[in-house]
Amino acid sequence: MSKRFLTLSLAALTALPAWANCPAVSGPDAGGEFPHLFERAAYEQLNNCTLSFNANPASAELNRRIVGNPELPSLEQRLPAEPLIIAPYERIGQYGGVLDGISKATESGTSDLLSVRHVNLVRFSDDLSTIVPNVAKRWTWNDDFTELTLNLREGHKWSDGKPFTAEDIAFWYNHLIMDKEITGSPKDRFLSDGKPMRVEALSPTEVRFTVNAPRPGLTAMFATDYAQPFQPKHLLGRFHPAINPEADTLAQSLGFDNGYAALKFYYGQSDWKDIPTPLLKDKEQVKRLVAAGFPAVAPTLESHLVVEDSLEGRRLVANPYFFQVDTAGNQLPYINEINEAYIGDEDIQTAKMIAGEVDYKAQAVNLPSAPVLLENRQQGHYDVALRPMVPLPALAFNLTDKDAEKRAIFNELDFRRAMSLGIDREQINKVAFFGLGKPMQYTAFDPDTAPFVTEAQKTAFIEHDPERARALLDKVGLKDLDGDGWRDLPSGKRFELDIRYATQGMATKVLEIVAANWRDLKVRTSIKEVTSDEYRSSQTANDLSITAWAMGRPQPVLASDPSWLTPPYGTYFDLRTGMEWARYLQTDGQEGSRPPQSVMDMLPLAEAFTRAELGSDESAEVGRKIAQLTVDDLFIIGTVKAVSPVYHSKKLKNFELPKTSSYDYYRMYPYLPTQWFLEE
Amino acid sequence: MIALISRWRGGGKAEARSESYYTAGQFALIRARFMRSTTGVIAGGMLALLLLMGLFAPFFSPNAPGIEGANPDYRRGAPQSIRFCDANGCSLRPFTYRYTREAPAFDLSSLAGGDLSALDAITSGDSLNASSQNRFVEQTDQRRYLQFFVSGWEYSLLKVEWLGIDIVSDRHLFGVDEGQVHLFGTDEDGKDVFSRTLHAIWVTISIALVALAVKLFASLLVGGISGYCGGRVDAVLMAITEAVRVIPPIPVYLACAVALSQLDLTPVQRYFAIAVVIGALDFAALGRRLRTHILTERNQDYVLAARLSGASSSRIIWRHLVPSFSSYIIVDTLINFPYVILAETGLSFLGLGLTEPVNSLGVLLQKAQDPDIQQNMVWQFAPVGVFVLLIMAFVFVGDALRDAADPYSERKR
Amino acid sequence: MQAFLTNTWLLWLLSGAAAILWWRGRSSQLFRYIFNRYLLALGTLLLVSGIVFSLMEVLPGDCAEKMIAYKNTQGEVITQAQIDAERARMGLDQPLPVRWASWVTDLTLKGDLGFSCAKRQSVNMALGDRFWMSLGFCIAGLLFAYLIAVPFGILSAWSLNKPWLDRKSHHTPLRRLRNSIGLVIAKLVDLQLRLISYLGLALPNFLLALSIILLYVFAGEPSPTGLFSDQWRGQPWFADSGFQWGKLNDFLGHIWLPILVIGWAATALQLQTVRALVVDESNKLYVEAARARGIDGFRLWSRYPVHHSISPLFNSVGFDFQRIFNDLPIVAVVIGLTDAAALLIEALAMTNDQELAAGILFLVALVVIGMNFITDVILAVVDPRVRNSVMHAGGH
């Protein structure tokens, strides 16, 4: 699909006023150290030329919409001395246009558009296995993977024109993540062996992360993480009491209770970049801040930043200080604005897509809407592609169920095997996924991107064998004792599986078929749809007997965060089971109940996987063991791995279809959305 | 035509009226007057038919409404026509055909190796398009004859759990000799829309019945106590009623539905609980009318007579005051039916009522919002049609009953 | 002083109005009635606030738990002690009556509706001008419903019980024919209109709204969702070149949809009400008397039953408003309006934001009670029958 050849883009050159001395190459094989990427010096040397830069003609105008930004200096002063040079997928683009997208609400269904403007220290290339530079120019590990040193770009600037330095990274970690007033308790992935890492700025362009145990997966964590590991110290630091002793006085003079309140007004209470900006929170306060010379929205390094924020949607304009240029020297991004409209109703979202009012959407576009989207693609001037999803819909019995007798049954391996054998995955595939999915067992990994997972592991206990399932159920003591045709608990009590689910986690039809299949095994099964919030809170409160959500992570995620392999097997937003085991492990045995030996066996394997270098034989060996243990335990039962639609307007050029349709590599981030452009 | 019917009916009644008219009871009068309303009678017939079909939905449905009755080989299929004749001749027994899909073969074997071109081939062609997915070929040489009183899936005709009564049957009004017949077509899962609709009617009606019964009880309680006791009790009760009346009810139902979702109830139990809430909060209007009625009636001679002969207060209310108001109560209840049903659909839309895969009209209506259905599977609008018919039938019957119950309406001629 | 006034302005306003009414009521029966009615309205409002406030207690969770749940989603581990501390800080550990009393006090002193914990700002600020927007939609929808329901309800009542054909023997055959044609047309029009207006009731609002939007989509036209199209959303009403007619045009191009949907649904009930009221009135003895005096036909109708049924209809405007507001939230969700009704749904069904929901519900009740008060007063001033009855009642 991507053109794997080198093109001299003459058309683009004639369209541009200034002649770039360097050849405007495009395509992945343009010749850089990494696909699509060059550093300036290497590029100029390779082509024996000097690169001259061109700005978006609208940048001054766009800059004026960023409240509190000073007038723009010349482009040379805005770009780093060593901008990241991007070879576009197809050709040099043209400036302008508004990218239309839809989310559900301010903090819901937004990651699609967040990924379009996202930046991080590093990035996964579109092969989803090579980590390539982004904000960081290069990085080096020490021999035992305990010290990561990153080099930044000389002259890199925030969107308000202030210099971005290593201090901003150290500030983010030491004063925001590690400050209890702001973060409470830091997330596991920002810790090392449960303890803080050491983050220090060695020079303005050099920062070092020191971890407590080998962690080669740290760069993969940055490549897939939604958080921005740098925050504008020049702004937020002024309100942080540890940095500015006058912080509280300053904040009070601006109408805040204290410095932290002012800091949170900009930073929010979350790492996500979709938190309500000051523009949405309090317009009066914003006026006071702007009058005192502060910006309305905290500056960013992303390609676009918010200039309007309301309950109807958000509008973003191109960052005039963005650090990437194309091979012709044009500053990226090409697209002037992003218009993010909030539409909560799924049917209206589909209607908007059919009408061609959206330029790109993949998140929450479900396979059942593929036929109608495909039907109207000519009229709506868009295309739809299908891409495999990374996670697969999975079910788990609550291994620490509150009901003792059920818990005992759920902990019988034969019971879990029987229930897995009872599911007719072919029927699920046919009815729910148009036959496009692949029946598959849960192996903890995304088998499509983890070559070491064996065929036997992927297909363990996935055949539909009701006979064997019934025999296994008889064996564990689930028999019909009162003659009503349904199986009862060994004590004679009624045995009923009540599946609560949210459609966000699993489609109704999948569970309908599972429930019908299980009823065929003479196990009373009912399903009940609840809201996502309700599902999540009762799951974490250990109130559910069966949990159902999509599960399975790619290698880099598992390598950077071992918690996916140990109870409760997922975050608040994923499938969880064994909450009491998790409590036992978290409290070092003080509370909760002790997990079985196989869980204990997984702990060192999970740890070992984070310490091995991805792609090495050692990593594959450990990975295969993990998959085997997962399948042997069968705590989580997989169903069918499906595909999902990716919608994109025909206007959108340089658009590279993703390899997967999933959140895991942060959606479009590996596919360089900064070089997208719009052409009517 | 309608004029003719009404004249004929009016004429027939006119003679009977002379004698029985003045001796007839209140209900006989209402019935007689109701029968003269053409629209009322038509709507009443429609309503009776729908209720009957809903009540005995399993008998009238050729297919089970759940996933177990879904037809995997006829998903997204259009309604199948029932014929007597075709190019191969005619038959007394109606028939339909075998339908086959032009199987769009997806070859996905290459996907295992990480090659995505197989997926791109599918989307660049049109085999997954809605119109191709809906395309079936009638095998005109393979007739399927309609059979009546066939045996099929098993269902409970009558089930009273606490009495241990469970009459099971497997007879259905009609079916085809092999395969399945889909009068209203099928949905994306292959579920029969006709069967789902029939099953949904009764769920919806029974919820409305519960709500209205509760409403009636609440209104009688508040209105009765307030009207009979009068004085301070009346003032307090009416102040509360007034306050309840100004709060919009849907948000209140919503709050209660959210609160109920905390309890451990099955979807249907939860829904009946919501029906109880809907009914219980709707006492204001009827309660007030009842109270006014009792306030005016309690000084009438017959109440005085009852009191003098030693009847207790509650007996006077229940045996004398309420019956004299019964026609109003009945009419009011009927007029309120559609509003209660609409409340159900509203809650279902917000995901707080019933949800898939339960069959209720609210669920099916909510489903009909899908752009795919509106563009490519219009037959899934059949439940909407049935819903509209049901509501209209209720409203027109309500109108006609209201007119009929009006004691003055005779005088106008 | 300044601070004291801004913190108690509403109380002064309310008691000032009461004082004026009381003063005037000493010499005028009408004002005494209005004064009583005013006190009654305030009493009802107090009761409503109590009901709404205790209703919100049934919603699961409270502000403190919600804050904690939010932190939980952010991956933090929270202890019960933290929840309790948060609860004490917000005053949520107080018993219900105490919290209610403080809420009502703030409300009556300065119109403060409390603090929305999901939005993390005051309810007044979260609402902004959204409540006015909802109010506008409801009133527009009501007008739509009245415009259709009043004339056609009267027509329907008139044609009720009329025969299809004129068979009066004292009419000439030509007149009989003419009358018969008129009757048939009137009855058919009545049937049609009732069918159409009841269809508005029978088609659920959300489905109707969505189907209309999809009609636009499939026809390749821009769909009328939201309040403005992208082009105009950010533009001010008044630009350098004067008033932006384009924006008004765009606005009207969008708001017709919600107004049509809620208005159409409300028409059915209004039509039923008007029809019933007029029929009731037309059956009363004074109409017979007028007929006996030889007043007939349209003149009889417009003079008596219609005239007299206007008062009860006018009197129910408040409750009609309440009923139409009832329908608005669902329509708002489908069309993507961000008015108070949509906020109410969000607060109730998604974020369990008790204070925000209570605030909106209270405001709706306030409007209903206010409308009831105003219509009662106007009727007492205008309608001699009502005036007599209330004066009489007031005299006791």
Average pLDDT, chain B: 78
d(CA A652, CA A248): 47
Tokens of B302: 């017959």
Q: Break chain C down into helix, strand, coil percent, rounded to 5.
A: 80, 0, 20
- Evaluated on CA atoms C212, C213, C218, C222, the torsion sign reads positive
- The pLDDT assigned to B8 comes to 41
Residue B395: exposure state from Cβ atoms within 10 A (0-12, 13-18, ≥19): buried
The answer to whether A327 and A27 are in contact (CB under 8 A) is no
The answer to whether A497 and A546 are in contact (CB under 8 A) is yes
Is A251 strand, coil or helix?
Answer: helix
Is A622 strand, coil or helix?
Answer: helix
What type of residue is B188?
E
pLDDT higher than 50, residue A518? yes
Question: Between residues A15 and A211, which one has the greater pLDDT?
Answer: A211
The structure tokens 């009209």 sit at B361
In the predicted model, what is the mean pLDDT of residues B315-321? 71
In the predicted model, what is the mean pLDDT of residues B62-72? 83
d(CA B47, CA B43): 6
In the predicted model, what is the mean pLDDT of residues C138-162? 82
Question: Between residues A492 and C311, which one has the greater pLDDT?
Answer: A492
Q: What is the ipTM of this complex?
A: 0.79
- Evaluated on CA atoms B386, B388, B394, B400, the torsion sign reads negative
Q: Which residues of C39-52 are buried (b: 16+ CB within 10 A; e: fewer)?
A: ebbbebbebbbbbb
B225 closest CA partner among B298, B303, B165: B298
| Percentage of chain C modeled with pLDDT above 70 | 85
B residues 30-59 closer than 8 Å to C (CB): 39
pTM of the model: 0.83
The whole-angstrom distance between residue A256's C-alpha and the CA centroid of its chain comes to 34
For A315-355, how does the pLDDT look when each residue is reduced to its tens digit (9 = 90+)? 999 999 999 999 888 999 999 999 998 887 788 888 889 88
**8 Å CB contact of C75 and A188:** yes
- The pLDDT assigned to C3 comes to 72
Tokens of A609: 């996987």
d(CA C239, CA A330): 35
The answer to whether B230 and B295 are in contact (CB under 8 A) is yes
- The pLDDT assigned to B48 comes to 92
Assign A13 a pLDDT band (cuts: 50, 70, 90). very low
Tokens of B94: 């109606």
In the predicted model, what is the mean pLDDT of residues B143-152? 83
The answer to whether A388 and B111 are in contact (CB under 8 A) is yes
The whole-angstrom distance between residue A197's C-alpha and the CA centroid of its chain comes to 23
What type of residue is A230?
F
Q: A29 vs A2, B219, C22, C272, CA distance in Å?
A: 10, 79, 89, 74
Of A375, A509, A659, the CB nearest to B116: A659
Residue A131 pairs in a beta bridge with A124
Is A444 strand, coil or helix?
Answer: coil
Q: Which chains touch A (3 or more CB pairs under 8 A)?
A: B, C
Nearest 5°: the CA angle C282, C286, C287 is 35
d(CA B361, CA A438): 34
d(CA A528, CA A523): 16
For A555-573, how does the pLDDT look when each residue is reduced to its tens digit (9 = 90+)? 888 887 788 888 888 877 8
Residue A206 pairs in a beta bridge with A151, A203
d(CA A588, CA A383): 53
pLDDT higher than 50, residue B15? no
Give Cβ neighbours of residue A657 (< 8 Å, ≥ 6 apart). A1, A385, A387, A646, A648, A671, B116
What type of residue is C180?
S
What type of residue is C248?
L
Is B294 strand, coil or helix?
Answer: helix
Count of A–B CB contacts within 8 Å? 105
Q: Which chains touch B (3 or more CB pairs under 8 A)?
A: A, C
CB atoms within 10 A of CB B88: 9
For C122-144, how does the pLDDT look when each residue is reduced to its tens digit (9 = 90+)? 788 778 778 888 888 888 988 98
- The pLDDT assigned to B108 comes to 64
Number of H helices, E strands in chain B: 17, 4
C56 closest CA partner among C365, C358, C363, C361: C358
For B72-108, how does the pLDDT look when each residue is reduced to its tens digit (9 = 90+)? 888 888 888 888 888 888 888 888 888 887 766 566 6
- Phi first, then psi, for residue B99 (nearest 5°) are -110, 135
Of A282, A341, A351, the CB nearest to C121: A282
Alpha helices in B21-133 (DSSP H): 26-35, 38-55, 57-60, 117-124, 130-133
Average pLDDT, chain A: 88
- The pLDDT assigned to C302 comes to 67
Among A44-53, B174-183, B287-296, the minimum mean pLDDT is found in B287-296
Of B242, B254, B411, the CB nearest to C349: B254
Which secondary structure element, helix H or strand E, spans residue C159, and what is its range? helix C130-159
d(CA A391, CA A443): 11
CB of B346 less than 8 A from some CB of C: yes
d(CA B285, CA B340): 14
- Phi first, then psi, for residue A27 (nearest 5°) are 95, 160
C357 closest CA partner among B243, B250, B251, B343: B251
CA atoms within 13 A on the CB side of C77: 8
Per mean pLDDT, which of A453-467, A499-513, A538-552, C277-291 is the most reliable?
A453-467
**Which residues in A have their CB inside 8 Å of a CB on B?**
1, 347, 350-351, 354, 368-372, 374-376, 383-388, 427, 430-432, 434-436, 438, 448, 498, 508-509, 512-513, 516, 526-531, 534, 643, 657, 659
pLDDT higher than 90, residue A99? yes
Tokens of A551: 């599960």
Q: A12 vs A50, A93, A442, A656, CA distance in Å?
A: 19, 7, 48, 19
What type of residue is A370?
A
Assign B10 a pLDDT band (cuts: 50, 70, 90). very low
Question: Between residues C310 and A679, which one has the greater pLDDT?
Answer: A679
d(CA A546, CA A543): 9
- The pLDDT assigned to A83 comes to 93
| Percentage of chain B modeled with pLDDT above 70 | 84
In the predicted model, what is the mean pLDDT of residues C76-84? 61
A240 closest CA partner among A288, A165, A292, A179: A179
In the predicted model, what is the mean pLDDT of residues C9-16? 83
CA distance B409 to chain C (A): 7
In the predicted model, what is the mean pLDDT of residues B192-207? 88
Q: B114 vs A287, A440, A441, A656, A665, CA distance in Å?
A: 53, 16, 18, 16, 17
Q: B249 vs B216, B238, C173, C356, CA distance in Å?
A: 17, 18, 55, 17
d(CA A448, CA A434): 20
- The pLDDT assigned to B407 comes to 53
Torsion on CA atoms A88, A89, A92, A98, rounded to nearest 10: -90
Eight-class DSSP state of C237: S
CB atoms within 10 A of CB B148: 11
For A627-667, how does the pLDDT look when each residue is reduced to its tens digit (9 = 90+)? 999 999 999 999 998 889 999 999 999 999 998 888 888 89
For B224-270, how does the pLDDT look when each residue is reduced to its tens digit (9 = 90+)? 788 777 778 888 888 888 888 888 888 888 888 777 776 767 767 77
Is C349 strand, coil or helix?
Answer: helix
Helix axes C205-218, C245-282, angle to 10 degrees: 140
- Phi first, then psi, for residue A160 (nearest 5°) are -100, 5
d(CA A330, CA A56): 8
- The pLDDT assigned to A382 comes to 93
Average pLDDT, chain C: 78
Residue A141: exposure state from Cβ atoms within 10 A (0-12, 13-18, ≥19): middle
Question: Between residues C339 and A594, which one has the greater pLDDT?
Answer: A594
| Percentage of chain A modeled with pLDDT above 70 | 97
Assign B63 a pLDDT band (cuts: 50, 70, 90). confident
**8 Å CB contact of A344 and C338:** no
In the predicted model, what is the mean pLDDT of residues B275-289? 82
- The pLDDT assigned to A363 comes to 87
d(CA A650, CA A669): 20
Cis amide prior to A70 (ω within 30 degrees)? no
Mutate which of A434, A449, A527 to disrupt the B interface (most B C-beta within 10 Å)?
A434
The answer to whether A6 and A98 are in contact (CB under 8 A) is no
**8 Å CB contact of A312 and C338:** yes
For C230-285, how does the pLDDT look when each residue is reduced to its tens digit (9 = 90+)? 777 667 777 777 777 777 888 888 888 888 888 888 888 888 788 778 877 777 77
Chain C contacts of B408, Cβ < 8 Å?
280, 283-284
A396 closest CA partner among A304, A314, A497: A497
Tokens of A392: 């697969």
In the predicted model, what is the mean pLDDT of residues A363-377? 89
A residues 178-197 closer than 8 Å to C (CB): 183-185, 187-188
What type of residue is A515?
A
Tokens of A250: 């300053």
